[in-house]
């Protein structure tokens, strides 16, 4: 199935975890 190819694309599934962690870190730094 064509959709099987999708997995070969690099997708940052965990991006939201990193974005949240980075935001919290800099909010604390500037708290």
Partner 1 sequence: LSPQTLYTYPENWRAFKALIAAQYSGARIRVLSGPPQFHFGHTNRTPQFLQKFPLGKVPAFEGDDGFCVFESNAIAYYVSTEELRGSTPEAAAAVLQWVNFADSDVVPPASTWVFPTLGILHYNKQATEVAKEEVRRVLGVLDGHLRTRTFLVGERVSLADISLVCALLWLYKQVLDPAFRGPFGNVNRWFLTCLNQPQFKAVLGEVQLCQRMAQFDA
CA–chain centroid gap for 21, Å, is 10
Taking the complex as a whole, the smallest distance from the CB of residue 10 to partner 1 amounts, in Å, to 6
Taking the complex as a whole, the smallest distance from the CB of residue 20 to partner 1 amounts, in Å, to 9
The whole-angstrom separation of Cα 28 and Cα 20 is 12
Q: How many alpha carbons lie under 13 Å from residue 26 in its C-beta half-sphere?
A: 5
Which of positions 1-31 make contact with partner 1 (CB under 8 A)? 1-13, 15-18, 21-23, 25-27, 29-31
Question: Which residues here bind partner 1, judged by CB under 8 A?
Answer: 1-13, 15-18, 21-23, 25-27, 29-31
């Amino acid at each position: 199935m064509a959709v099987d190819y999708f997995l070969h694309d690099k997708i940052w599934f965990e991006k939201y975890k990193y974005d949240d962690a980075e935001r919290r870190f800099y909010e604390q730094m500037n708290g």
